[in-house]
Structure 1
Amino acid sequence: MGAVPVALLPGDGIGPEIVEATTAVLDAAGAEVEWLPVVAGARVFEETGEALPAETVETARAAGVVLKGPMGTPRQGYRSPNQRLRDAMGTFANVRLARSFPHPATQFPGVDLTLIRDVTEDFTQGTAQRLAGPVGAELAGVALRVTTRPAVDRLARFAYDWARARGKHRVAIGHLATSQRATDGLFVETALAAAADGFTDLDVTDEAMDPLCTHLMQHPGRYDVLLTGHLYGGILCGVLAGLIGTVGLLAGAAFGTAGAIFEAGHGNVPKYAGLDRANPAACILSGAIMLDHLGQTEAAKRVRVAVERTIAEGRHTTPDLGGTGGTRSFARRCRDLAAG
């Protein structure tokens, strides 16, 4: 098998540092990948007035696979290039993987959770406005929330297929259907109907968001896969990051009709840019998800083992993991371990 083309997008803030670290580790693990550098984000916007150049979209769509760093939305009126790229790739399922590693900041060993959330509906399309009063003061904000049966059915089936393919048996649907009956009610109804149509081997349940968050903090090991809309999924990302001790370990991906995007589950953190203190583990682990997606499972396994061993050793871990290492030293140790 020849090298697979992958669009490589460094992003903003800490993005270039963690992406550089990631490509070094993936290459050392034997990934058969042809990196296709592209640009997007705040820096290219300042230079060209376009945050997501057409050339970047063309390369991403032609490759069908993107590995990217985080990008910011620095000002009002600046449409997020993250969302525009997701739209261009037709993504509908956002995946976050939360796994505990042995380090001082985690209080919940053994966590191994997947969150799958919608990225096409809910409040994601920005259909909102502020309403002015008689003297020009903004008195109200109004946002439109949308849930449709076809989109939920597609998302739910993706989640069930994901669970089944990875030996997971329990899928919990997070919602507030008792109060949001039109939207969440339809979400739960559709997701449960999809489960009954070909996925009866899975244990699919639904749970209101407030007890779900409580139970996650009490007994995270009772959950395998979480399925939610976009808004609730964003909240649960924070819960999962807390369970594993740091957002610096939260790996992610977005899957769609025109390809897939792989990226860490955190932001671009501009205040840490260039300081060699950002944890690259989430981006590296996102790269491992990408290798699995490409069928390069042995290389993916070497990447994960390298990250786990680097964290367990503790000599090169970043401050969020309780260590005194930096981005580069963490990446070097992972690279050496991945190379065998």
Structure 2
Amino acid sequence: MSYDYDKVEVPTDGEQITLEDGTDDTLEVPDNPIIPIIYGDGIGQDVAPAAQQVLEAAAQATGHDINWMRLYAGEAAREKYDENLPDDTVEALKEFRCSIKGPLTTPVGSGFRSLNVALRKKLDLYANVRPTYHLDGVPSPVSEPGQMDMVTFRENTEDVYAGIEWEAGTDEVEQVKAFVEDEMGYDNTIHDGPVGIGVKPITEFGTKRVVRKAIDYALENDRDSVTLVHKGNIMKFTEAAFRDWGYEVAEEEYGDEVITEDTLWEENDGDAPEDAVVVNDRIADNMLQQLLTRTDQYDVIATMNLNGDYLSDAAGAQIGGLGIAPGANYGDGRFLAEPVHGSAPKYAGQDKVNPTAMILSGRILLERLGWDDAATLVRDAVEQTISAGKVTYDLERQIEGGEKLATSEFADEIVANVEQLS
């Protein structure tokens, strides 16, 4: 341990996750790692302890032990440090490498556009990864939710989420408008009157590393395809560039391990070689339609920040909503799991809400640690609990004959199933 923490208690029984010598992303994980956890705001105080309980049970059932290290961000950090994102938290997330957090709310005037985005940037967690799959027993608005089994790799650091924008009525926005119209030759492109202007950066560097992460994932997990999703027919120098740079990664770095869709049809009559990943691309609006009409044809999605937000939420709706949907952020040698849903402050502390998304985000954490048996155990135990109709209020009202459980009771049922299945 190198950083001198002020208000963080580092567990004395656990060991630190390190990098394998000579690598920037291969973890050396002890059987008793120290794992930072941020409960987060609002319902974080309910769902985070539930996730801890389930993850501990699955780890112990498979011969491991998690040593939790509590960190603070958002409201809890303001109470303890008088700031939203203290150095203690950022440095601990960097040093201990793999962590999990609940939802965070960014207060007005906090100095951050988003605490979640700030964490991703400070840790260079450039790939937001959202697996979307259906659990038996979860109500869904579509007739065949089991067809959805897709993983979205969403670039985390660029696009409009980079936050480069100027407010209407400011001197700065008028300078940008004048530059665009007078110096760049786009006269009469922007309407007169108040205007807000934003810049959308898409870089070769940012594109290639997230596409590389997506292809690596597909190869390691026996997925059939990686789809580059973009609006390149309109945004030719940003989103079309993402598509082109993505294909460059596939063609120049992976050899026979991948095949593009064009080559697949031109040379193989549509038959993919065994063990090869097909890399293709789709226009974003068409992809939103195909999530519904050709759900089972897509495995791994690689896309930009805003597209990824839309697509993953739309996919999540097909498998039961954001209360079920897990997520995680990957960087080189660092990882932060987090559920997709928000902090829902009006339900905070009521022991009421559904912790499934946080628990399944923890499942991704277990996978990142290399504890696949524990990760499988979590999914199976959650599914068995829901299939039995023992659910929180949000699902109980949709399930005939369901039994309504508190957040903590639901976690207890999952733990009992972990023990029964192990």
Does the C-alpha gap of structure 1 residues 2 and 242 become closer, same or farther in structure 2, counting only changes over 3 Å? closer
Q: 1:158 deviation in Å? A: 0.4
How many pairs align? 339
Q: What's the counterpart of residue 264 of structure 2?
A: none
Q: What secondary structure does 1:249 align onto?
A: coil
> 1:94 touches 1:117 (CA, 8 Å); kept in 2?
yes
Matched, 1:86 2:120: yes
Sequence identity (%): 31
In 1, the alpha carbon distance for the partners of 2:277 and 2:170 equals 52
Q: What's the counterpart of residue 240 of structure 1?
A: 315
TM-score normalised to the size of structure 1? 0.94
In 2, the alpha carbon distance for the partners of 1:104 and 1:55 equals 39
Q: What's the counterpart of residue 304 of structure 2?
A: 229
RMSD, matched Cα: 2.0
Q: What's the counterpart of residue 120 of structure 1?
A: 157
In 1, the alpha carbon distance for the partners of 2:51 and 2:159 equals 32
Q: How do 1:1-340 residues align onto structure 2 when only pairs under 5 Å count?
A: 1-29=30-58, 30=60, 31-45=64-78, 48-79=81-112, 80-103=114-137, 105-106=139-140, 107=142, 108-110=144-146, 111-132=148-169, 139-197=194-252, 198=254, 199-200=258-259, 201-320=276-395, 322=398, 323=402, 324-340=404-420
Q: 1:85 deviation in Å? A: 1.8
> 2:352 touches 2:392 (CA, 8 Å); kept in 1?
no
Q: 1:164 deviation in Å? A: 1.2
Q: What secondary structure does 1:113 align onto?
A: strand
Q: 1:227 deviation in Å? A: 1.1
Q: 1:320 deviation in Å? A: 3.8
In 2, the alpha carbon distance for the partners of 1:176 and 1:217 equals 19
In 2, the alpha carbon distance for the partners of 1:105 and 1:302 equals 22
In 2, the alpha carbon distance for the partners of 1:218 and 1:65 equals 37
Q: 1:84 deviation in Å? A: 2.2
Higher share of residues assigned strand: 1
Larger radius of gyration: 2
**Greater RCO between the two (CA within 8 Å, min separation 6)?**
1
In 2, the alpha carbon distance for the partners of 1:2 and 1:328 equals 27
Q: What secondary structure does 1:139 align onto?
A: coil
> 1:42 touches 1:73 (CA, 8 Å); kept in 2?
no
In 1, the alpha carbon distance for the partners of 2:215 and 2:203 equals 18
> 1:319 touches 1:325 (CA, 8 Å); kept in 2?
no
In 2, the alpha carbon distance for the partners of 1:104 and 1:61 equals 36
> 2:40 touches 2:72 (CA, 8 Å); kept in 1?
yes
Q: Which moved more, 1:53-62 or 1:80-89?
A: 80-89
Q: 1:333 deviation in Å? A: 0.6
In 2, the alpha carbon distance for the partners of 1:174 and 1:44 equals 37
* Letter of the 1:91 counterpart: L
For structure 1, the 5+ residue unaligned runs are none
Does the C-alpha gap of structure 1 residues 77 and 20 become closer, same or farther in structure 2, counting only changes over 3 Å? closer
> 1:93 touches 1:118 (CA, 8 Å); kept in 2?
yes
